[in-house]
Amino acid sequence: MNRLWTLAVREWRAHVHAPGTWVLLGLAWFWLAAMYCWQVLPASGHGDIQYMLWQGALHIANLQILFIPLLTMRTIAEERRSGTLEMLLTAPVRDHEIVLAKFLGAFGVAALMWMLLPFLMLLAVMSGGDPDWGPVASATLALAGTAGVLTALGVLASALTHNQLLAGFLGLILSFAFMYLPRLVPSDWQTLQEVLSSGDLLQQVEESARGIVDLTNVAFQISMTLLFLFFATRSLESRKWL
């Protein structure tokens, strides 16, 4: 546990000290503020807080699809390229601890995205609004779950290659596919559409923004996160099979 904490803190600090992280976050925050001011607020009639919450959650979920793969692309790929992975793996550290620490460090930074939702609602309160905090909490939880899945997927993409740009590209494709595939399947393929829609993360975020907390959705998000982290660990272990 101590080693995991040491590794996770090191990972989080590496993200926080990297200028690229703040460039990405700055762009994401600017985009969100712009969408909010020019699209969400006018459409809500400057008063429908439920609409603001729903749209805010969806915008943050969509931004996470772009932000998180670019954040996670260097996690393992860069360690492989620079050789520091050899230093980590020859210390008394297990492979799954490295993967979990990479995940926790990136997830800690990704929190600066999904924690924006309660922050936006606080701004609404300061402007005289009175949001229902139940849906705010459930939507924040759903965004955190989505961030968890996307972070694990990004770490997996990073574990598959030495090249962090390739890892970023792969992470973007996988994240986009995971989030949008349920919505891109033609309507005549009903069975496939039904199967995929049960794992539609955007749908889950929308439901949560209406105050619905479905434990099946939470279980799905945790399972997917653990599954992708398991695959990332196996990918790291692949050096032993060569």
Partner 1 sequence: MINVENLSKHYGAFTALDGVSFHVATGRVVGFLGANGAGKTTTLRILSCFMPPSAGMATVGGFDTVRASDDVRRLIGYMPESVPLYGDMRVVEYLRFRARLKGVASDCVSAALERVISQCHLQEKRRSLIRALSKGQRQRVGLADALIHDPRLLILDEPTSGLDPDQRVEVRSLIAALAGEHTVLLSTHILPEAEASCSDVIIIHKGRIAASTSIAEVTGGEQRWRVRVADRDYAVTTGASAAGTLTRWDSAEAASQHAAREVSAGRVLLEVGPEKRTLEDLFMSVVAERIPTP
Provide the binding-site residues for partner 1, judged by CB under 8 A: 2-3, 6-7, 10, 14, 17-18, 82-84, 86-94, 239-240, 242
Sorted by sequence, the CB contacts under 8 Å of residue 17 that are 6+ apart come out as: none
- Residue 174 CB, shortest distance to partner 1, in Å, is 27
Which one, 21 or 225, has the nearer CB to partner 1?
A: 21
Distances 65 to 62, 68, 70 between C-alpha atoms, Å: 5, 6, 9
Q: Phi and psi of 185, rounded to 5°?
A: -70, 130
CB of 42 to partner 1, least distance (A): 43
CA distance 221 to 224: 5
CB atoms within 10 A of CB 163: 16
Question: Which two tokens mark 119?
Answer: 């922050």
Smallest separation (angstroms) from partner 1 to the CB of 2: 7
CB of 86 to partner 1, least distance (A): 5
- Which CB atom, from 19 or from 42, has the smaller least distance to partner 1? 19
Looking at the Cβ atoms of 104 and 212, the one nearer to partner 1 is: 104
Q: How many residues does the chain have?
A: 242
Indicate the residue among 90 and 216 with the shorter CB distance to partner 1. 90
